[in-house]
Amino acid sequence: MNVKITGSGSYIPNQIVTNLDFADNQFLNEDGSPFASPNDVVAQKFKQITGIEERRYVEKNLMTSDIAFFAAQKAIEDAKIDPETLDYIILAHNFGDVKFGAIQSDAVPSLAARVKQKLKIKNPKCVAYDILFGCPGWIEGVIQANSFIKSGIAKKCLVIGAETLSRVIDPHDRDSMIYSDGAGATIIEATNEDSGILTHASATFAYNEADYLFFGNSFNKELDADVRYIKMFGRKIYEFALNEVPKAMKACLEESGIPISGVKKVLMHQANEKMDEAIVQRFYKLHDQNMPDGIMPMNIHKLGNSSVATIPTLYDLLVKNQIENQKIEKGDIIIFASVGAGMNINAIVYKV
């Protein structure tokens, strides 16, 4: 028995926010002093480093659980299953439901339970829970679903990654330009086909690295000191990811027995174009090879970094031929890999 993705769906918000939309932001340094460069220079350098030209924000009336539900509906329809047959709903997020203009997040009841309610699933044996694992949350949810199915306690699982980071960003921090909103969902099922999850790996580096991503005060010292925003030590994350993620990917691939020449695509968490390319280049360097052209599909240029949603939305768009000059076919070997708050790392070697 193998475990595979039998359906996928995504929700890409309609509101497009370009780099030019940050022209009037008052960017500050961590100590509250004015940022040295004008905003047009900030935007230009930002695009060069991250590759991001646009990002998507949800409408004011929507929250994370809403867009998670929209993506889930599409995945269920794509897989052609009865939602009442789901054994688990696993929803990866980081900040719960945050209403527009609010200063608190809301995760009681769990967002997974809210999605189950929106799907109108009556079956009480369909267990719904949330997972907080930073940006690698969707991959970790898939790994958990795989374990449930392999152990015999489940046959079908719905795994969702959803986030509305636009609600938790500091407008005075230039890092706020990275973040976006979105949701991706997948149905994970047992299969007798020669496809699915081959190997997986996960790790948490917390001894020195736990606070590389955190909730902190605004750089604007005049704002409410009790309100927190997503913050990061970008250089530390870059160096950590470049050192650790390629090694995890290599170990996962070696366990699968697949040669690196057999890898058709690498689906990285869409965090930062420069960082993602460096990670994959290092991964190939560990095998004494150069990174092949077209190996890493990307949608960060138009969708930004939506945390747990980046990989499932990328996968959904890829399998539905909506990523320009990119496609995957039956039998292809692909690698999912991510890094994020924790600091957590994970990877999956998967046969389409």
Same domain, 187 and 229: no
Structural domain containing residue 103:
2-192
What's the rounded Cα separation, in Å, for the pair 328 and 155?
A: 25
Same domain, 160 and 222: no
243: left (phi over 0), alpha (psi -120 to 50) or beta: alpha
β-pair partners for 197: 350
Statement: residue 40 has pLDDT above 90: no
Tell me which amino acid residue 88 is: Y
Same domain, 179 and 226: no
The pLDDT confidence band at residue 275, using thresholds 50, 70 and 90, is: very high
Same domain, 128 and 34: yes
pLDDT in tens, 294-340: 999 999 999 999 999 999 999 999 999 999 899 999 999 999 999 99
Q: How many domains does the chain contain in total?
A: 2
Reported pTM: 0.95
Single out the residue in 192, 212, 245 at which a domain terminates: 192
pLDDT in tens, 61-91: 999 999 999 999 999 999 999 999 999 999 9
Statement: residue 37 has pLDDT above 90: no
Q: What is the DSSP letter of 174?
A: G
Percentage of residues of the chain with pLDDT beyond 90: 87
In degrees, rounded to 5, the angle at the alpha carbon of residue 99 between the alpha carbons of residues 144 and 115 is 35
CA distances from 96 to 24, 39, 68, 230 (A): 29, 31, 11, 13
Please state whether beta strands 196-204 and 344-351 pair in parallel, antiparallel, or not at all (unpaired): antiparallel
Same domain, 63 and 174: yes
Statement: residue 41 has pLDDT above 90: no
Which of 13, 267, 10 lies closest to 159 in space, CA to CA? 10
Single out the residue in 172, 192, 212 at which a domain terminates: 192
The pLDDT confidence band at residue 59, using thresholds 50, 70 and 90, is: very high
- Cβ atoms of 169 and 98 within 8 Å: the answer is no
What integer is the mean pLDDT of 189-198? 94
In degrees, rounded to 5, the angle at the alpha carbon of residue 303 between the alpha carbons of residues 300 and 304 is 60
